[in-house]
Amino acid sequence: EAGVAQSPRYKIIEKRQSVAFWCNPISGHATLYWYQQILGQGPKLLIQFQNNGVVDDSQLPKDRFSAERLKGVDSTLKIQPAKLEDSAVYLCASSLSLAGADTQYFGPGTRLTVL
């Protein structure tokens, strides 16, 4: 079974530029998550989708971050404009359903460096 795919794996940009990350979840997984992992910290949820609807975006900085999940499959996360403090690994995860006990499977992440 293929895992969660993410691209690009690495991205370096200057502050105030925009950047986009792509995620392809495990086939059949209804729930998709974007987490931000700052170096030395645990992942923090940014946004959660159930199919193509947003379930939780309470910790998403909506003035600069946006995300969409068209057709309930792939998802993109965008940052515009980027700030220095956005330097982090952006992890995408998916799970079969919304149930709290469903295993979340993580992709390898995209490491973003903002200069």
Partner 1 sequence: QQQVKQSPQSLIVQKGGISIINCAYENTAFDYFPWYQQFPGKGPALLIAIRPDVSEKKEGRFTISFNKSAKQFSLHIMDSQPGDSATYFCAASKKSGSRLTFGEGTQLTVNP
State which residue, 67 or 109, has the beta carbon closest to partner 1.
109
CA distance 26 to 32: 9
Is the bond preceding 61 in cis, omega lying within 30 degrees of 0?
no
Is 102 a binding residue for partner 1 by CB under 8 A? The answer is yes
The Cα–Cα gap between 88 and 51 comes to 26
Question: Phi, psi at residue 52, to the nearest 5°?
Answer: -105, 15
**Which one of 1, 2, 28, 40 is in contact with partner 1 (CB under 8 A)?**
40
What is the smallest separation between the CB atom of 81 and partner 1, expressed in angstroms?
27
Pick one of 12, 15, 18, 55: the residue that binds partner 1 (CB under 8 A). Answer: 55
54 CB-near residues (< 8 Å, 6+ apart): 47, 48
Interface residue with partner 1, options 42, 63, 70, 71 (CB under 8 A): 42
Give the binding site for partner 1 (CB under 8 A). 4, 31, 33, 40-45, 48, 55-56, 91, 93, 95, 98-109
